[in-house]
């Protein structure tokens, strides 16, 4: 039986997570975890009062197309080994989608342990991470015509959190999918006691970029490099270069579209790009009503298949930037597949509308079927903001 977990069962959740993910919480860490669990929706499958599998849902908001969207973050999906491969996680995911839909969370994110597993249930990749490692002898300042008149200042927490958050929010409006961070999330999910921070202030004293980083041995690990102008990016890189006598290498985690590697004196550095987070539209009708399509003088039909969350199966009619979703009437469904319009599954339309993949790319992959001219028109209608996701849950 699947039901919501009560506070008296939090210890059972923690024991399952510790076993499944192979870690051990101290008493202090356990207390903090329980406090966070009070703000999560936790669903579990019980048999004879024994918790066999569970998952957690965070209530987040994200930024997409410069709008705020409600997002359900699925995390800590775990099953005791003796109950695995019995369909328990599948049933939990369906219940989670139903609960997220009821809570008006129109999209869901998760970090997959196995991408193919979650693709079966409609989640699809929407963000990758780019990590570059620069050896000490390549820590060379960038020579550029960009005017870098600002200065670097060390930022001390928690006093500096407000201006850092303002920069982060401006940056997030230039991307799709970034978490709309609360102060509580900054303190829990982003910063810790080892985090160091510096900011780039422009000539008039405005904070236009920051670094969050750690020092370990002779290595610098840059966890976030967030800038809203090129001068800030260059200024922060010059700051990193000033550590050349202290370091053997620097590792930076960047957005996939970040141009910093191209700007380096020697861009041929060790670069790793890997898939990171997955997304799934939870409620298609609400999603397309909120989504801002670009204006086009020709109407377009999109037929969406979602065998796991059947309320999303139907057709989207887009005309002059406005979209309407028509759910399929299963009892009256046409025997013949509609000939007019484009056909795709829920995962394809999710990664498309978030801006991670283009319609043309999905068409070449066989993830979109239809006429190529309509595919090209669809690409002109959807978001052009690149995706980015720095967080983890």
pLDDT score at 158? 84
Answer yes or no: is 196 within a domain: yes
Residue 45 contacts residue 92 (beta carbons within 8 Å): yes
pLDDT in tens, the chain (393 residues): 999 999 999 999 999 999 999 999 999 999 999 999 999 999 999 999 999 999 999 999 999 999 999 999 999 999 999 999 999 999 999 999 999 999 999 999 999 999 999 999 999 999 999 999 999 999 999 998 898 999 999 999 888 999 999 999 999 999 999 999 999 999 999 999 999 999 999 999 999 999 999 999 999 999 999 999 999 999 999 999 999 999 999 999 999 999 999 999 999 999 999 999 999 999 999 999 999 999 988 999 999 999 999 999 999 999 999 999 999 986 554 556 777 999 999 999 999 999 999 999 999 999 999 999 999 999 999 988 999 999 999
Q: Are residues 154 and 271 in the same domain?
A: yes
pLDDT score at 330? 63
pLDDT score at 157? 87
Q: Are residues 236 and 361 in the same domain?
A: no
Q: Are residues 376 and 289 in the same domain?
A: yes
Q: What is the CATH number of the domain that holds 102?
A: 3.40.630.30
Answer yes or no: is 119 within a domain: no
Number of structural domains (the chain) is 3
Q: Are residues 238 and 185 in the same domain?
A: yes
Q: Are residues 202 and 261 in the same domain?
A: yes
Identify the domain boundary among 231, 259, 275. 275
Q: Are residues 266 and 146 in the same domain?
A: yes
Using one digit for the tens of pLDDT, what is the confidence trace for 21-32? Answer: 999 999 999 999
- Domain holding 371, by residue range, is 283-381
Q: Are residues 371 and 314 in the same domain?
A: yes
Answer yes or no: is 393 within a domain: no
Q: Are residues 81 and 99 in the same domain?
A: yes
Q: Are residues 271 and 171 in the same domain?
A: yes
Q: Are residues 141 and 208 in the same domain?
A: yes
Q: Are residues 262 and 149 in the same domain?
A: yes
Identify the domain boundary among 215, 243, 275. 275
Identify the domain boundary among 110, 141, 167. 110
pTM for this prediction: 0.94
pLDDT score at 336? 64
Q: Are residues 230 and 180 in the same domain?
A: yes
Q: What is the CATH number of the domain that holds 351?
A: 3.30.1050.10
């Amino acid at each position: 039986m699947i039901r919501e977990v009560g506070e008296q069962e939090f210890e059972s959740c923690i024991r399952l997570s510790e076993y499944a993910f192979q870690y051990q919480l101290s008493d202090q860490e356990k207390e903090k975890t329980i406090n966070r669990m009070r703000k999560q929706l936790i669903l579990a499958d019980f048999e004879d009062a024994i918790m066999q599998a569970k998952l957690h849902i965070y209530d987040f908001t994200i930024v997409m197309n410069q709008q705020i969207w409600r997002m359900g973050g699925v995390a800590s999906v775990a099953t005791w080994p003796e109950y695995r491969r019995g369909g328990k996680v599948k049933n939990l995911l369906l219940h989670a989608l139903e609960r997220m839909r009821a809570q008006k969370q129109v999209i869901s994110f998760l970090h997959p342990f196995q991408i193919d597993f979650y693709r079966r249930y409609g989640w699809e990749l929407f963000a990758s991470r780019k990590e570059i490692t620069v050896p000490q002898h390549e820590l060379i300042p960038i020579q550029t015509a960009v005017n870098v008149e600002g200065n670097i200042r060390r930022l001390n927490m928690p006093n500096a959190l407000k201006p850092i958050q303002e920069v982060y929010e401006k940056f997030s409006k230039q991307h799709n999918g970034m978490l709309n961070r609360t102060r509580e999330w900054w303190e829990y999910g982003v910063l810790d006691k080892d985090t160091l921070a510096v900011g780039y202030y422009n000539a008039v004293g405005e904070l236009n970029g920051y670094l969050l980083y750690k020092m370990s041995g002779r290595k610098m690990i840059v966890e976030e490099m967030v800038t809203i102008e090129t001068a800030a990016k260059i200024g922060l890189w010059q700051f990193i270069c000033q550590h050349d006598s202290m370091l053997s290498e620097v590792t930076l985690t960047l957005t996939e579209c970040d141009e910093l590697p191209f700007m380096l004196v020697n861009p041929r550095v060790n670069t790793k790009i890997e898939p990171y987070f997955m997304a799934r539209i939870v409620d298609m009708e609400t999603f397309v009503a909120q989504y801002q399509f670009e204006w086009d003088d020709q109407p377009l039909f999109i037929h969406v298949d979602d065998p796991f969350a059947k309320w999303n199966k139907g057709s989207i009619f887009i005309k002059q930037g406005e979209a309407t979703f028509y759910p399929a009437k299963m009892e009256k469904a046409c025997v013949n597949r509609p000939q007019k319009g484009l056909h795709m599954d829920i995962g394809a339309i999710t990664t498309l509308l978030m801006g991670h993949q283009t319609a043309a790319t999905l068409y070449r992959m066989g993830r979109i079927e239809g006429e190529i001219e309509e595919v090209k028109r669809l690409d002109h209608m959807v978001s052009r903001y690149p995706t980015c996701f720095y967080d983890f849950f």
